[in-house]
A and B are shown apart, each in its own frame.
Chain A
Amino acid sequence: AQSVTQLDSQVPVFEEAPVELRCNYSSSVSVYLFWYVQYPNQGLQLLLKYLSGSTLVKGINGFEAEFNKSQTSFHLRKPSVHISDTAEYFCAVSVLNDYKLSFGAGTTVTVRA
């Protein structure tokens, strides 16, 4: 079975500074990887996904992530954050022909002025 570990539970960051959220996965087969964002009292919104091809994936709101198969990682980055990026971020993994997602515990990003 596949699993996800998000290495940071909380990440405080100043506005306009860069941020990186770390995600490592475990799987014996090829994976699909996802980052979702959850704003307070809301559902999950897809930020970006890696299915195949280029290992650098660009998503919405200026986020990007890089798939590293040798390190089994899928870290999320944004070069300059805004106050509105304050939210919970979840990394998730699935495998071919298994349609459910396995989520990490989440990383809380708090952006301060």
Chain B
Amino acid sequence: DTGVSQDPRHKITKRGQNVTFRCDPISEHNRLYWYRQTLGQGPEFLTYFQNEAQLEKSRLLSDRFSAERPKGSFSTLEIQRTEQGDSAMYLCASSPRTGSGNTIYFGEGSWLTVV
């Protein structure tokens, strides 16, 4: 059983460029989450999908951020017109429909550095 997979693991981009991260959840997990973590802080919730439906978005998710999960499997997180404040680790996670309480399994994260 493979875990949550994220790509790329590291991305350096110039301010103003667009970046996209991909997440492949654990197979058969119907819930998928995106979190953001800055240095010295705990992860902060960004958004959540159940199958292909995006059910909740945090206020942290500005208009420059968009997430999709088109077929209820993998997901992408796109950041448009990146700013230096977007530099962080973007964590993807997934959880099954039932049987685990609210147990969420995280990927290795995608580091974004905006220069």
The residues of A with any CB-CB pair to B shorter than 8 Å are: 4, 32, 34, 36, 41-46, 49, 51, 90, 92, 94, 96, 98-106
- Given A32-B101, A43-B108 in contact, is the A105-B56 Cβ separation under 8 Å? no
- Given A42-B109, A103-B43, A106-B41 in contact, is the A32-B91 Cβ separation under 8 Å? no
- Given A103-B42, A106-B42 in contact, is the A43-B106 Cβ separation under 8 Å? yes
A100–B106 touching, CB < 8 Å: no
CB distance from B87 to the nearest CB of A (A): 15
A98 and B58 alpha carbons, distance in the complex (Å) = 13
20 contacts between A and B (CB under 8 A): A4-B42, A41-B111, A42-B109, A43-B4, A43-B109, A44-B43, A46-B103, A46-B105, A49-B103, A90-B42, A90-B43, A99-B104, A100-B33, A100-B48, A103-B42, A103-B44, A105-B41, A106-B40, A106-B41, A106-B42
- Point out the residues of chain B lying under 8 angstroms from A34, CB to CB: 103
The residues of B with any CB-CB pair to A shorter than 8 Å are: 4, 6, 31, 33, 40-45, 48, 50, 56, 91, 93, 95, 101-109, 111
Please give me the 9 A-B residue pairs with the lowest Cβ-Cβ distance, nearest first: A103-B42, A51-B101, A44-B106, A94-B102, A43-B108, A43-B106, A100-B45, A43-B109, A32-B102
- Given A100-B56, A103-B44 in contact, is the A43-B103 Cβ separation under 8 Å? no
Chain A residue at smallest Cβ distance from B41: A105
Contact of A101 among B6, B104, B108 (CB under 8 A): B104
- Point out the residues of chain B lying under 8 angstroms from A43, CB to CB: 4, 6, 91, 106-109
CB distance from B51 to the nearest CB of A (A): 13
A63 and B104 alpha carbons, distance in the complex (Å) = 19
